[in-house]
Chain A
Amino acid sequence: MRGRTLAILLLVALLLRIACGLSSLLTVVFDPLLVVAVLVAVLNKPGQTLLAGLLSGGLKDLWTGGWYGQYSFTHLVVSFVISKVGGLVDLARPFPVAAVLAVSTVAERGLRYALAVAFDRSVGEMQSPVIWILAIIANTILGLALRRLAQRLEGPSR
């Protein structure tokens, strides 16, 4: 993936994240920056994956505020693990991409809970399963759409 494509994807994701901020539900459900980190991890080499994970998480930390570093950490870990699995199995086709997006949505949230517990920060009640399911569906659909966008930006040779 070219740097320009990564930059455009991150920009689109950031704008989507800002738009989602207008509604409480959308904020909980959609995670465009994570989706971009996952897509880059699926489609790229590990070096670029780390950069994308760090950038997307950093942007989300910057936007969300509160406890800086938590999203950078979770995005970094999720994208690194995906890139490692991607080295063993071909994840770049649509069905595996959808599966990876679904799993990573859950994994990233789980990681955040784990971090909060590890650092003795109150996490409140677990979100309802409906929210988790909505998040999985929303992020998977968004991921597939952004994957098409990435392919168009990369040109027909890709």
Chain B
Amino acid sequence: MTGRQVNALFLALALGLLALMAAQVQQSAEGTVLGHAARAVTSPVVTSVSWLSRTVSRVFHGYLYFVGVEKERSRLVRRVARMEAEQARIGEVYRENRRLRSLLGLRSSAAFPRGVFARVATYLDSGPARQAILVNRGRRHGVEPGWVALSHGAVVGRVVDSAGSTAEVLLVIDPDSGTAVRHVDGRFAGVLRGGNHGPAALLPLEYVPRDVPVAVGDTLVTSGLDLVYPPGLLIGHIRELAADSPLTWTIWVQVAFEPAELEELLLIPPFGGEPPSVPVTHGAPVDAPALGAEPPAETDEEGAP
């Protein structure tokens, strides 16, 4: 191949790629045909790698466990006996609670009865231009694009693509993300932009009127106005207030999860599914730890429905 031919080929390829990128700019983040095809191709690889890493991890931890197992055995036997008694008592209380709720006509105490637990299989990209992860639950487990991902009761992001056994979750800190939020006491509402600004991963909430009483540490929850996230889910806490004009604040919000430490997520159906009602205080959602406390009858050991 001569130098001119190489130059011409380079120009043609570069222009073709630019055209491909331009064609995608107008489309939403939620799935191009190309995206679905690519995810279908990579899904089996990710699932295999995730399974392999989990297996290695289990074997390693199993070995560590058995090193001290004799020492722990008698203590654990006593503890198990105590816990069985406790379990029986809790089971009785749970059944009584269900009966009473049924009598009162209330829904189940589980905030998200159709939720699916998923593990983070891989970080797809954690650069400044994109913040997305892949989880090990997909269409086969009922997870569809639009589902919402939670970690310890806090919103992490939403599913933008779902293959057979994996789903891609676009985090709320992704620059393309926008989340409708409101102050926990309902003092104002707005749209939290993604962007992962600075090492503390603060997200801006702009044009908040300065006559609104807000303070650092206040909690923000989803408002539901974007018709993406159900209302009342924890988003994060106010970390900084910046006066960007004589009339408005820009509020800097720290999300309530650590992006680099995500391991297990709860995926719930989008707005329009079972309407959740997670009571939120200024610290953390009251119901959050109870999400995994639903009796085992409704989920398998990995959390699939």
Mark A113-141 against chain B: 1 for CB-CB distance below 8 A, else 0.
10110011111111110000000000000
Distance of A76 Cα from B29 Cα, bound (Å): 24
Q: Known: A66-B125, A72-B17. Contact between A50 and B176, CB under 8 A?
A: no
Q: Are A54 and B13 in contact (CB under 8 A)?
A: yes
Q: Which of B41, B123, B198 contacts A125, CB < 8 Å?
A: B198
Mark B45-79 against chain A: 1 for CB-CB distance below 8 A, else 0.
11001000100000000000000000000000000
Q: Are A68 and B34 in contact (CB under 8 A)?
A: yes
Q: Are B175 and A124 in contact (CB under 8 A)?
A: yes
Near A by CB (< 8 A), chain B positions 100-133 give 121-130, 132
List of B residues within 8 angstroms of A18 by Cβ:
45-46, 49, 122
Q: Are A77 and B130 in contact (CB under 8 A)?
A: no
Q: Are A46 and B1 in contact (CB under 8 A)?
A: yes
- Least distance between A109 CB and chain B CB atoms (Å): 8
List of A residues within 8 angstroms of B29 by Cβ:
66
What total of A-B pairs shows CB separation below 8 Å?
A: 131
Residue among B38, B39, B259 facing the most chain A CB atoms (10 A cut-off): B38
List of B residues within 8 angstroms of A66 by Cβ:
29, 35, 124-125, 130, 132
Distance of A112 Cα from B20 Cα, bound (Å): 15
Distance of A35 Cα from B126 Cα, bound (Å): 19
Residue among B14, B17, B45, B49 facing the most chain A CB atoms (10 A cut-off): B17
Q: Are B260 and A24 in contact (CB under 8 A)?
A: yes
Near A by CB (< 8 A), chain B positions 236-269 give 259-260
Q: Which of B10, B18, B127 contacts A127, CB < 8 Å?
A: B127
Near B by CB (< 8 A), chain A positions 54-76 give 54, 61-70, 72-73, 76
Residue among A21, A46, A62, A80 facing the most chain B CB atoms (10 A cut-off): A21
Q: Are B42 and A125 in contact (CB under 8 A)?
A: no
Is B24 engaged at the interface, CB distance under 8 Å to the other chain?
yes
Q: Are A120 and B129 in contact (CB under 8 A)?
A: no
- Least distance between A121 CB and chain B CB atoms (Å): 7
- Least distance between B45 CB and chain A CB atoms (Å): 7
Is A155 engaged at the interface, CB distance under 8 Å to the other chain?
no
Q: Which of A47, A77, A127 contacts B14, CB < 8 Å?
A: A77
Interface of A: prevailing SS: helix
Q: Known: A123-B175, A124-B195. Contact between A28 and B17, CB under 8 A?
A: no
Q: Which of A64, A69, A126, A127 contacts B20, CB < 8 Å?
A: A69
Q: Known: A18-B45, A73-B18, A121-B25. Contact between A68 and B6, CB under 8 A?
A: no
Mark A88-124 against chain B: 1 for CB-CB distance below 8 A, else 0.
0000000000000000000000001101100111111
Q: Known: A66-B130, A68-B34, A122-B195. Contact between A47 and B1, CB under 8 A?
A: yes
List of B residues within 8 angstroms of A69 by Cβ:
17-18, 20-21, 24
Number of residues on chain A facing chain B (CB within 8 A): 43
List of A residues within 8 angstroms of B125 by Cβ:
27, 64-66
Distance of A22 Cα from B124 Cα, bound (Å): 9
List of B residues within 8 angstroms of A157 by Cβ:
none
Q: Which of B17, B41, B197, B259 contacts A24, CB < 8 Å?
A: B259
Q: Known: A64-B124, A121-B175, A124-B175. Contact between A50 and B129, CB under 8 A?
A: no
Distance of A147 Cα from B1 Cα, bound (Å): 25
Distance of A72 Cα from B82 Cα, bound (Å): 60
- Least distance between A41 CB and chain B CB atoms (Å): 12
List of A residues within 8 angstroms of B9 by Cβ:
47, 50
Is B153 engaged at the interface, CB distance under 8 Å to the other chain?
no
Q: Are B21 and A22 in contact (CB under 8 A)?
A: no
Residue among B39, B127, B197 facing the most chain A CB atoms (10 A cut-off): B127
Q: Are B25 and A120 in contact (CB under 8 A)?
A: yes
Chain A residue at minimum C-beta to C-beta distance from B170: A66
Please list 9 pairs of residues, one from A and one from B, whose beta carbons are closer than 8 Å in the complex, sorted by A's number. A22-B122, A46-B10, A63-B42, A64-B124, A64-B125, A80-B10, A119-B21, A123-B129, A124-B175
In the complex, given contacts A24-B126, A123-B175, what are 13 additional A-B residue pairs having Cβ atoms less than 8 angstroms apart?
A: A18-B49, A21-B134, A22-B53, A22-B123, A63-B42, A64-B124, A66-B124, A67-B130, A69-B18, A76-B13, A77-B14, A122-B175, A124-B129
